[in-house]
Structure 1
Amino acid sequence: MSSVSQLSKRFREVLLDGFWIANTNFKDQLKDVNWEQATTKVSSLNTIAMLTFHIHYYIAGLINVFEGGELEIKDKYSFDLSSIESQEQWEELLSQLWIDSEKFATLLEQMPDSKMDEVFVDEKYGTYLRNIDGMIEHSYYHLGQITLIKKLLSN
């Protein structure tokens, strides 16, 4: 299996359908979360909705680069979620996350393996491989937070 195929599989595992590393994934964890749970604050932790937005923000930003655009995302905006006040708004955020996650994985699969060693936008960001690996690791980090927040909300 090629490097990009392996990366795409790992990305899908954490976001859409895998159970190998964490025995869960974003889609599995968020399938039974309603908008009220998603927006409930637990102590000083980010909400589930905030973390979901945050991961989607970065996925969408990398998709833009994969499609030939500029790197337009900024860390300072990565938690700028507009308020969610209905189940429909929450479901729209989830829908966009699932659509863009699949798009990210598909675009990644279409890249040649040699692209992984190329500079990602600017040398200060490292290579494509570093950024894609970082996206996967970042997703697992926040998946763990979402899992813990769900447990805290159920107690």
Structure 2
Amino acid sequence: MNESQRIQSLFTDLYHGHPWLDVTLEDTLGRITPEQAAQRPIKDGNTIWEIVNHIISWRENVLKRVQGEVLQTPSNNYIEKIENTSDKAWRQTLVALETTQKEWLYFLSTFNEADFNNEYSVNKLTYYQHIHGIIQHDAYHLGQIVLLAKMVTP
């Protein structure tokens, strides 16, 4: 197994496999209703839905970075208030997350490992660091989602 395949395995496990931390994005989010996802149990904190959209946007951002695009990160850090809290909108959010999962797995399956050492010009971090960073980012926010889910579910 090469490094790209090992990283694909990490992405897969955290999304819907068997990660060491024993919770996944898909299983955790699959038990959350739109109403629960939109609740704000911590004053001035983020909702589950806002965090999921944040994860999606950062996954898209970092994927573009490691494909050579230079991006401007918005001042809101991809945290935006949810206006449409319908069941359909929540399903669309979950589909968008799944789409980023598929995009990352495809990218990694076609990635030239020599490019792990490429640097992103803005922060001078390597593509390897960015790729592992987005996995760490997902795990960090999954922890937040798990805690918020305990606060919003009966």
TM-score by length of 1: 0.89
What is the aligned partner in structure 1 of residue 30 from structure 2?
31
- Asked if 1 retains the 8 angstrom alpha-carbon contact of 2:10 and 2:19, the reply is no
Distance 2:127 2:113 in 1: 10
Distance 2:124 2:13 in 1: 24
What is the aligned partner in structure 2 of residue 129 from structure 1?
128
1:68, distance to aligned residue in structure 2 (A): 4.9
1:139, distance to aligned residue in structure 2 (A): 0.6
Which runs of 4 or more aligned residues in structure 1 lie more than 4 Å from their structure 2 counterparts after TM superposition? none
Distance 1:28 1:75 in 2: 31
Name the SS of the counterpart of 1:76 in structure 2.
coil
1:75, distance to aligned residue in structure 2 (A): 5.4
Deviations 1:70-99 (A, max 9, x none): 424435341024423200011101101101
Distance 1:68 1:81 in 2: 30
The 5 A counterparts of 1:1-155 are 1-15=1-15, 17-44=16-43, 45-74=45-74, 76-120=76-120, 122=121, 124-155=123-154
1:57, distance to aligned residue in structure 2 (A): 0.4
1:142, distance to aligned residue in structure 2 (A): 0.4
For the aligned residues, what is the CA RMSD? 1.8
TM-score by length of 2: 0.89
Deviations 1:97-138 (A, max 9, x none): 101111112102211111111112x16241001001110011
Distance 1:82 1:43 in 2: 16
- Asked if 2 retains the 8 angstrom alpha-carbon contact of 1:8 and 1:108, the reply is yes
1:67, distance to aligned residue in structure 2 (A): 4.7
User: What 5-or-longer segments of structure 2 have no aligned partner?
Assistant: none
User: What 5-or-longer segments of structure 1 have no aligned partner?
Assistant: none
Distance 1:73 1:105 in 2: 23
Aligned residues: 153
